[in-house]
Amino acid sequence: MKKIMTLAAAMLLCISAFAQQALFGGTQLKSPEINPDNTVTFRFNAPKAIMVQLTGDFLPSVKRETQFGTFDAPGVVDLKQNDKGVWEYTSDVLAPELYMYSFIVDGLPVKDPANVFEIRDVNSVTNYFLITKEKGDKGNLYSVNEVPHGTVSRVWYDSPTLGMKRRMTVYTPAGYEDNPKAKYPVMYLLHGMGGDEEAWINLGRTSQILDNLIASGAAKPMIVVMPNGNVDEEAAAGEKAGGFAQPSMMHEGMMDGKFEQSFPDIIKYVESHYRVIAKKSSRAICGLSMGGFHSMHISCYYPDLFDYVGLFSAAIMPNTNPGAELSPVYKDIDNQVKVQFSKNPKLYWIGIGSADFLINANDEYRAKLDSAGFKYTYYPTGKGHIWENWRIYLSQFAPLCFK
């Protein structure tokens, strides 16, 4: 009796909610379906479509010519329509990884209405899924597992240098709240151009990677601070005052020294609001692309602050022009690096992919370090300037910190 009443009531609620709220695009199809052998079946319901295709970064890449050069772009495959009007495609066996994909229906990119899981990268939003095979593989490292979970917070810190309150994402490890006397080391993790304080936690799977590395004992419990590196905005698009401007790749003052000079504001906030070990041997700074550029310059402009430095596909652009306008952050950079290395950082880590357009700049920088006899760890990978590499670099770098 009770069960029937509950069910009836539930049904009523269900219908109403669907009819009035979840109006757009609900579907009963399963897509993507990850099969037991790690092939993946994609399904799309479009009885009247003439052609349904799929593009994704798990498909063999194709060369795409642009006015700026030739790039690798994900391939495109055709789906086949079954007798119910549903289009289907089953992939090859996929290796553990986070993959992104989109349908193309009669030439139009369309998200998968059966998959609510999406990530925003700058100004595009894309469906994704995860493949995992066994404990410890990449897909498993990026998954939510049955391990203790850290807390993820969005906090607003004061930046007197930039004259605004600014939003950042902070990960505190499992156990932080229950051990009120424990103090923790801090990793500052910086995004690339077009990113913001949401990039690493979403595209980078930072909380999952750290939860898993810490649970297995591979990494020390640490706080991870993910600030917004665009000095012209206080927060990510949608999270700042002034309406819903779409996110932009370009920001005023991205690489002119201002972010680097404001960095002590972030450290000050973190060290006065969290229980941290406030010394060089318990601070790491790392970042991807522009965030690698920022990490390089912050760590050498403030050579006493960080013992662990990670450059992930870093936009290394030795600034040799002698203009009077040059920010002090970039002045006399060769000498600044010399000072930094004279203070013996415990780890200076460089990771980059062989197909990255920044590989030459990184090679030149490494040659400079080599010729000066400065020690660093080099972690070369395949592929290019992509999140697949940046998740790997974080997974490799974090366990080396604070040991």
In sequence order, what DSSP letters do the residues of 215-245 get, joined into one string? HTTSS---EEEE----TT-SSSTTSSSS--P
| Candidate list 51, 62, 182, 249; residue touching a copy of itself; CB under 8 A | 249
333 binds a copy of itself (CB under 8 A): no
| Candidate list 220, 240, 275, 338; residue touching a copy of itself; CB under 8 A | 240
Q: Which C-beta is closer to a copy of itself: that of 42 or that of 129?
A: 129
**Site map for a copy of itself, 130-169, x if CB under 8 A?**
x------------xxxx-xx-xxxxxx--------x-x--
Backbone angles phi, psi at 101, to 5 degrees: -155, 165
| Candidate list 38, 39, 41, 49; residue touching a copy of itself; CB under 8 A | 49
| Candidate list 40, 42, 43, 46; residue touching a copy of itself; CB under 8 A | 46
Residues 289-318 within binding reach of a copy of itself (CB under 8 A) = 289-290, 315, 317
| Distance of alpha carbon 239 from alpha carbon 230, whole angstroms | 14
Shortest Å distance, C-beta 280 to a copy of itself:
25
57 binds a copy of itself (CB under 8 A): yes
Residues 65-104 within binding reach of a copy of itself (CB under 8 A) = 66, 68-69, 71-74, 100-102
190 binds a copy of itself (CB under 8 A): no
Strand boundaries in 322-400, DSSP class E = 347-353, 377-381
125 binds a copy of itself (CB under 8 A): yes
Measured on CA atoms in the order 43, 199, 361, 284, is the torsion positive or negative? negative
Q: How many residues bind a copy of itself (CB under 8 A)?
A: 111
12 binds a copy of itself (CB under 8 A): yes
Residues 335-374 within binding reach of a copy of itself (CB under 8 A) = 357
Q: Which C-beta is closer to a copy of itself: that of 184 or that of 308?
A: 184
| Distance of alpha carbon 401 from alpha carbon 367, whole angstroms | 24
Q: Which C-beta is closer to a copy of itself: that of 111 or that of 220?
A: 111
End-to-end C-alpha distance for the chain, whole angstroms: 61
Shortest Å distance, C-beta 149 to a copy of itself:
5
Shortest Å distance, C-beta 32 to a copy of itself:
9
In sequence order, what DSSP letters do the residues of 151-185 get, joined into one string? EEEEEEEEETTTTEEEEEEEEE-TTTTT-TT--B-
| Distance of alpha carbon 139 from alpha carbon 256, whole angstroms | 37
* H/E run at residue 294: helix 290-301
Q: Which amino acid is at 376?
A: Y
Please answer whether residues 116 and 199 qualify as being in contact, where contact means their C-beta atoms are separated by less than 8 angstroms: no
Shortest Å distance, C-beta 107 to a copy of itself:
6
CA 85 to chain centre: 37
| Distance of alpha carbon 366 from alpha carbon 362, whole angstroms | 6
